[in-house]
Amino acid sequence: MRIVIQSDASAVAAFAAREIANQVAYKPHSCLGLATGGTPVGAYRELIQIHRTSHLSFANVTTFNLDEYVGLTANHPCSYRTFMNEHLFSHLDIPLNQTFVPIGDASDLVTECIAYEERIGLAGGIDLQLLGIGSDGHIAFNEPGSSLGSRTRVKTLLQQTRIDNARFFDSMDLVPTSAITMGIGTILDSKAILLIACGEGKAEAIAGAAEGPLSASLPASSLQMHPCVTLVVDESAASGLMRADYYRMSERERHRLEVGTGQ
Ligand code: F6R
């Protein structure tokens, strides 16, 4: 696991945007896995900037979002489809029919989950998956206790997750109780994973993900199993890491040797 500690949230956003842009520049037909929530907003803003200033095209990119609330229509103001259109897709040259978000109001949710997995497979699998992390260590909506081998399915949201996400809704009662989410197994099938986290509220989850035991009780710890994971965190989110000095040294070595150490 590579752990990159940045000074603040804007440096995390810039780093993440550069990684995504490099992936698309290297492989214009990339398949990207994308996340919603507060953390990626800055990275998407930076990516839009790169698209405009460097003329990086997303015309051949395909994207798959991690999750969507059950019961919300695609055009609901709080749906993740709306979030992605507003924060990213409408600012890029990517055709909307190459962007996939699970259909939260599908009449048959089980069929939708199976179809989502199939669509990812048909696209050739995800080249780079962007992740945030919940304060309880969830990735996508794989709440603590999720099977480490899980695939796309419906998950009930923990009350804490609903409270954390209530800021996007007019009232707590309106926060859905379930979501369609890629599974941990789905995420681990990605060729590379980039997890971003900012703020003290994420410190415990980041420490558990990077340095805790592998456990379904902290879903992000499953990333320890993957050969190509980068965690990019600000100083506050890094504050619980026991080996922070080592990670900083490892990054310096990486730049000095110009090789990919640190996984
Ligand atoms: C969103 C997602 C969630 C968030 C996590 C952190 O698509 O999959 O796992 O990444 O809840 O959310 P923020 O960034 O709002 O703290």
Kindly list the protein residues whose Cβ atom lies closer than 6 A to any atom of ligand 1.
35-39, 66-67, 132-134, 138-141
What are the residues facing 129 on neighbouring strands? 33, 193
Per-residue pLDDT at 262: 58
pLDDT value at position 19?
98
For ligand 1, atom 1, name the residue with the nearest CA: 36
**Residue owning the nearest CA to atom 10 of ligand 1:** 132
CA of 225 to the centre of ligand 1 (A): 21
Determine which one of 138, 164, 189, 234 is catalytic.
138
C-beta of residue 154 within 8 angstroms of C-beta of residue 70 = yes
Long-range contacts of 218-222 (CB under 8 A, 24+ apart): 218/136, 218/137, 218/144, 219/137, 219/138, 219/139, 219/142, 219/143, 219/144, 219/146, 219/148, 219/184, 220/131, 220/133, 220/137, 220/138, 220/139, 220/195, 221/137, 222/139, 222/148, 222/184, 222/187, 222/188
Q: How would you label 174-202 residue by residue, b for 16+ Cβ within 10 Å and e otherwise?
A: ebbeebbbbbbbbbbbbbbbbbbbbbeeb
Round to whole Å and give the CA distance between 131 and 192: 11
131 three-state secondary structure: strand
**199 backbone φψ class: left, alpha, beta (φ>0; ψ -120 to 50):** left
pLDDT tens-place values along the chain, 263 residues long = 999 999 999 999 999 999 999 999 999 999 999 999 999 999 999 999 999 999 999 999 999 999 999 999 999 999 999 999 999 999 999 999 999 999 999 999 999 999 999 999 999 999 999 999 999 999 999 999 999 999 999 999 999 999 999 999 999 999 999 999 999 999 999 999 999 999 999 999 999 999 999 999 999 999 999 999 999 999 999 999 999 999 999 999 998 998 765 56
Is-catalytic flag, 105? no
